[in-house]
């Protein structure tokens, strides 16, 4: 359970980074 939980957090961080990058592209 702990391993899957860590993977979930890692995936959320990756998604948040991608969203921030896309927002920066739209702003530019």
Residue 2 confidence (pLDDT): 64
**What would the pLDDT profile of 1-28 be if each residue is shown by its tens digit?**
567 889 999 999 999 999 999 999 998 7
The whole-angstrom separation of Cα 15 and Cα 23 is 12
State pTM to two decimals.
0.62
pLDDT of residue 3: 72
pLDDT of 1 reads: 56
């Amino acid at each position: 359970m702990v391993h899957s939980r860590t993977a979930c957090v890692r995936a959320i961080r990756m998604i948040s980074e991608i969203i921030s990058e896309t927002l920066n592209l739209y702003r530019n």
